[in-house]
């Protein structure tokens, strides 16, 4: 990709499945759907709130590598596999993004790629720094 920067979270799925955790083009950062793995341990907690915290920790690392921060995120798209997961997921979202308040959507879906995945979130950001390269 000649017009952008590819960012990896270190997940083996990225190379195997042919995608990047995020792509930076100019001042835009597009973060792929991310599930709740702790990529350092390749472990998935059972608790949906902990999965959500892991997702936002991955987002923070991605944004740092992109030259930004979580406050640069302008859009969240959240997918959960059961309606009962909405409240714990949006509670964590409120803890992380309460002052930022990006546009956000939450959708209940029948399943994600693997049964242990209860939540998947993707995001878009616009870097606010003045020296944006890409």
**pLDDT at residue 58, as a whole number:** 94
**8 A C-beta contact, residue 63 and residue 102:** no
In this prediction the pTM is 0.89
> pLDDT tens across 18-75, in order?
888 899 999 999 999 999 998 788 899 999 999 999 999 999 999 999 999 999 999 9
Burial of 123 (0-12, 13-18, 19+ CB in 10 A): buried
pLDDT value at 130 more than 80: no
Quickly state the pLDDT bin for 9 (edges 50, 70, 90). confident
pLDDT value at 16 more than 60: yes
**pLDDT at residue 38, as a whole number:** 87
CATH number of 5-126: 3.30.1330.40
> pLDDT tens across 73-111, in order?
999 999 999 999 999 999 999 999 999 999 999 999 999
Rounded CA separation 12/129 (Å) = 31
What is the DSSP code string of 117-134?
--EEEEEEEE---S----
**pLDDT at residue 3, as a whole number:** 67
Give residue limits of the domains in the chain: 5-126
Quickly state the pLDDT bin for 118 (edges 50, 70, 90). very high
**pLDDT at residue 129, as a whole number:** 66
């Amino acid at each position: 990709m000649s017009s952008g920067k590819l960012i990896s979270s270190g997940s083996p799925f990225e190379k195997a499945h042919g995608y990047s955790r995020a792509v930076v083009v100019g001042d835009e950062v597009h973060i792929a759907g991310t599930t709740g793995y702790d990529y350092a341990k390749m472990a998935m907690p059972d608790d949906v709130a902990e999965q959500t915290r892991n997702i936002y920790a991955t987002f923070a690392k991605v944004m740092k590598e992109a030259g930004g921060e979580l406050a640069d995120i302008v859009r969240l798209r959240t997918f959960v596999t059961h309606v009962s997961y909405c409240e714990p997921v949006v509670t964590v979202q409120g803890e992380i993004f309460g002052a930022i308040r990006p546009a956000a959507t939450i959708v209940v879906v029948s399943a994600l790629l693997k049964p242990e995945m209860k939540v998947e979130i993707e995001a878009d950001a616009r870097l606010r720094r003045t020296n944006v390269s890409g």
